[in-house]
Amino acid sequence: MSFSYITQALATRRAEGLFRQRVLVEHACASRITIAGEQYLNFASNDYLGLATKLDATQLVSIEAGSRSSALVTGYLSVHQQLERQLCGALGYEAALLFPSGFAANTSTLKALFTSGEKQFSAAVFQDKLNHASLIDGGLAGNAKFVRFNHNDLNHLRSRLEKTKANNKLIVTEGVFSMDGDTAPIVEISKLAQSHSSWLMVDDAHAFGVIGENGLGTVDTGIRPEILVVTFGKAMGCQGAAVLASRQVIEYLVQFNREFVYTTALSPIMASVALHQLNRLLLATEPRDKLSRNIAYFKKLISATKLSTIPSDTAIQPLVFGTSENVIAAQNKLKQKGIWVGAIRPPTVPQNTARLRITITAEHSTQDIEYLVSALVEVS
């Protein structure tokens, strides 16, 4: 029977206890969430600075719903250009290109980079084993040898670089790892890239807005990767993404990135929201300080318990339970105590590392964090 594997795949997912379901959210902000009439403390949001709410709609430069076509036809509007210029100015890049999502930006850019008509084309893409699915998918889609290195392991990366012969090499990492919360050793990776004539691409989805002295993420380390991806759905609290690079690389993507060429340009209202949110984010010094204090407080309280989270100084603080059953049981007990935390299971994370992905935001109070830690102790 046609498509019978669909029934089979669903049955297997259920049997493995890995069935995924959407949750209908009635109301949410960075620190509270209402589901099925119940309000919970929200420790599952990527709205790290609390910017997804309190938008000042009077500041939007456009409230047009649609861009009406792809950017290469008539969809590229002045609001898009303003947003690109603001991003370039803030992050120190020559040029930028907008995408409707970070997933699209990553997959399509990697694919386009490694699609060449050149006869002698040889390329290799080196990816951290914990890279996001969109980076992995993009890396596999192009015409490059796909090489993975152990998470944040510089020696392993070095040996992979030494062993792999290719004219065009690209190391790909995340600035802050989405499921572990740790940061990549960007300065060291950049040195390795330089000494092996490799380019560097960094996905700063969880770093932009929150990491570094000015909250700019990777570029605050003084390193400017050849390709930087920032997404608007996390600290910026809206939606979309940008790829930043040299003018020449962006020109190349304008020619050969099929997602960019064939998709309707980002809605002008969303580009306006992103522009507004970018300005809020750049000025969000107080929320960033509050976030740092909250993270430090959570870590201090956790260190006084027997619990151990994956070492992380960022808003993402994962607590590993091992099996999917254990993590779901802990998640349900937390729900009963009025706390909402994401339970992350394989295949999103490696086998036997199912975890609660606790996210701290600037909107949490010290009491929220104290209550969370005491509840974690009780359910673990």
Q: Which residues are catalytic?
A: 46, 132, 174, 178, 203, 206, 234
Work out which of 42, 231, 317, 359 binds ligand PMP, going by CB under 6 A.
231
> Per rule CB under 6 A, is residue 178 in the interface with ligand PMP?
yes
Residue 245 to residue 103: CA distance in whole angstroms: 17
> Per rule CB under 6 A, is residue 207 in the interface with ligand PMP?
no
Q: What is the token pair recorded at 311? A: 């070492």
> Per rule CB under 6 A, is residue 114 in the interface with ligand PMP?
no
Binding segment for ligand PMP (CB under 6 A), chosen from 63-71, 95-103, 156-164, 182-190, is 95-103
Binding segment for ligand PMP (CB under 6 A), chosen from 99-107, 154-162, 294-302, 333-341, is 99-107
Work out which of 40, 43, 93, 103 binds ligand PMP, going by CB under 6 A.
103
* Burial (Cβ within 10 Å: 0-12, 13-18, ≥19) of residue 185: middle
Residue 33 to residue 124: CA distance in whole angstroms: 44
Binding segment for ligand PMP (CB under 6 A), chosen from 66-74, 97-105, 182-190, 219-227, is 97-105
Q: How many residues bind ligand PMP (CB under 6 A)?
A: 14
The nearer residue to ligand PMP, 174 or 259, going by C-beta atoms, is 174
The nearer residue to ligand PMP, 80 or 206, going by C-beta atoms, is 206
Q: How far is the CB of 207 from ligand PMP (least distance, A)?
A: 9
Give residues with Cβ within 8 angstroms of 336, minimum separation 6: none
> Per rule CB under 6 A, is residue 363 in the interface with ligand PMP?
no
Question: How many other β-carbons are positioned within 10 Å of the β-carbon of residue 163?
Answer: 9
Q: At what angle do helices 102-113 and 133-141 cross, to 10 degrees?
A: 20
Residue 100 to residue 54: CA distance in whole angstroms: 22
> Per rule CB under 6 A, is residue 203 in the interface with ligand PMP?
yes
57 touches 68 (CB < 8 A):
no
> Per rule CB under 6 A, is residue 233 in the interface with ligand PMP?
yes
Q: Which residue is nearest to ligand PMP (CB)?
A: 102
Q: What is the token pair recorded at 80? A: 């898009």
Work out which of 39, 86, 101, 164 binds ligand PMP, going by CB under 6 A.
101
265 touches 70 (CB < 8 A):
yes
Give residues with Cβ within 8 angstroms of 41, minimum separation 6: 31, 32, 33, 338, 339, 340, 364, 368, 371, 372
Q: Contacts with ligand PMP in 132-151 (CB under 6 A)?
A: 132, 134
Residue 274 to residue 230: CA distance in whole angstroms: 12
> Per rule CB under 6 A, is residue 208 in the interface with ligand PMP?
no
Q: How far is the CB of 303 from ligand PMP (least distance, A)?
A: 26
Contact footprint for ligand PMP (CB under 6 A): 101-103, 106, 132, 134, 174, 178, 203, 205-206, 231, 233, 241
